[in-house]
Each structure stands twice: as C-alpha cells, then as structure tokens.
Amino acid sequence: MTPTVSAALAQSGLVPLDAQVLLAHVVGKDRAWLVAHGADVLEREQWAAFVALARRRHEGEPVAYLTGEREFWGLRLRVTPEVLIPRPETETLVELALARLPADRDLRVLDLGTGSGAIALAIAHERPRAQVLATDVSSDALDVARDNASALALRNVHFLKSDWYERVALEWQGGAFDVIVSNPPYIAAGDPHLEEGDVRFEPGRSLTPGGDGMSAIRKIVAGAPERLVAGGTLAVEHGYDQAEAVRALFVGTGFVRVVHIRDLAGVSRVVAGRVVP
C-alpha cells in the first residue's frame, strides 16, 4: 500500500520545503495542490519516484538539479549541473540594471558569463526594446540558456561563446553597450564554502576562478569602459567580503558614481559604476 500525500511528505525525512517541491514535481502539481490533497493516495510509480529523489536529496544533490528547474525573477528556468543555480540574491543585480535601462528606447545590454541565462532573460523580459547579448565560455551552458530563451519566447536575447570579452566586439548592433552586467565566479580557491551544501554539486568554473577569487572581476572591470556608451553602467555581483576591493577596482579604472548595493539579507552584493559622460 502506497502512502498518502501527507504521509509521504512526513516519511521523506526532508525539510518540508524540499519534500514539497520534490513531490509536487513528481505528481505534476503545485505545492498548493499537495495541501488540498493530503489524503490522496499516491500511485506506485509516483511513490517510487519520490523515494528515489528524496534519497538523492539526502545525499546532498540540489533540489534544482533534481527537478531540472528553478524560478528566477518570476521566470521558470531549466537548470542542469552544467550551470550555476540562480539565486534570489542575484535579483539585486537585475534590479540595478533595470534602474539604469529606460523602458522607452532601444538599448544594448551585455551579460558576461550568462550560465542558465537568468540575468539576461530577466532583463530581456522587462525591457522588450533592449537587445541583450549573453556570453559564456561553456557551450553546454549556452545550450541551456538558449532553451530557456526559447521556452520564454524571448527573441531579443542573442548568444555568443566567448571567454569574457574575447569575442565581444567593441560595438555590437550599431553601437556600444548601455549596460554590462555579470555574476562571475568570485569565490577564492580553498574557501570552505566550496565544500558545503548545494555548492558541492555546481560547476567549479562558475564558482571560483582560483587564487583570491578576483581574477574574473578584474578582467570584467578592465574591459568594460571601451565597450560602454558615455555614461553607461557596469554592474558586477561579488562575494560577501569583496565590496571594498571591487569598489577600488572600479575607481582605479576610472568609473564614477561608484556604489555598492546590498541584497535583501543586508549583504553587500553588487558594485556598479558609470563611464564618464
């Protein structure tokens, strides 16, 4: 006899949210359905599938990889172990970019290291008149991002395989970029966080560039001024303890009106600056 929905959740041994997300995925319903149908008995195949997923979660695999999807900026995205799992704190970067992108005119945006496409797609969704170029050095990551753009029917996003600025022209689609954004790898080599939680299963290239964790950010900051319009913005996500170092890079490269923005948890998350008008 297979258990009811409520019993299956209780027997899983998982934290309630993880259990609910995984069972909802298995039965093809949302979490509200689980609450309303707690007394329903699961089918044998559903129970077996849920038990298998719960076991993998107990072994540490991220829920997003188990379900193959994650919500970001209200958009449902496909994710695989080839891409970083989009996180709520990265929405801080999207918010800042949108504040610098007027909705009433044509714009050009560059997203470096796009991964699943989360940042590029959120911006493209909110700014239909913007043309967004999303780059990544990984072909597998670009395949995921393209699939997400197609599923969301976003036709103002373009994809390019590039190691940071390597293949990004100084001008694209008739001009320089209004905004450049990036959530690059920034964790220092040997940081204990790399051996904890979901991070253990995510692609290392998306988490750390090695060394002090700053090498990718240095490349991004150095190459931005010549690719931005006068008054254009560069915005970069960084580690919890890197705000001052990243701000110094911006100032040293000639950016003005440099600010750092905190996420909803109050952690310094993004540094942004403008090219001299």
Q: What is the pLDDT of residues 5-15, one digit of tens each?
A: 999 999 999 99
> For the chain, how are helix, strand and coil distributed in percent, rounded to 5?
40, 20, 40
Alpha helices in the chain (DSSP H): 5-11, 16-27, 31-36, 44-58, 63-67, 91-99, 118-126, 139-151, 215-223, 243-252
Give the number of domains in the chain.
2
Same domain, residue pair 11 and 131? no
Please report, in angstroms and rounded to a whole number, the separation of the first and last CA atoms in the chain. 71
pLDDT exceeds cutoff 90 at 81: yes
The pLDDT, as a whole number, for residue 1 is: 85
Q: Confirm whether 88 is domain-assigned.
A: yes
Same domain, residue pair 141 and 183? yes
Q: Confirm whether 69 is domain-assigned.
A: no
Same domain, residue pair 138 and 197? yes
Express each pLDDT in 182-229 by its tens digit. Answer: 999 999 999 999 999 999 999 999 999 999 999 999 999 999 999 999
Same domain, residue pair 102 and 149? yes
Same domain, residue pair 201 and 237? yes
Q: Are 95 and 123 in contact (CB under 8 A)?
A: no
The pLDDT, as a whole number, for residue 277 is: 80
* Domain CATH number, residue 129: 3.40.50.150
Express each pLDDT in 105-162 by its tens digit. Answer: 999 999 999 999 999 999 999 999 999 999 999 999 999 999 999 999 999 999 999 9
Whether the CA torsion 74, 75, 79, 85 is positive or negative: it is negative
Q: How far is CA 193 from CA 93, 152, 189, 230, in A?
A: 22, 33, 10, 39
- Burial class from Cβ neighbours inside 10 Å (0-12, 13-18, 19+) for residue 273 reads buried
Express each pLDDT in 221-270 by its tens digit. Answer: 999 999 999 999 999 999 999 999 999 999 999 999 999 999 989 999 99
Same domain, residue pair 147 and 198? yes
* Residue 95: domain span: 82-274
Q: Confirm whether 76 is domain-assigned.
A: no
Q: Confirm whether 67 is domain-assigned.
A: no
pTM equals: 0.95
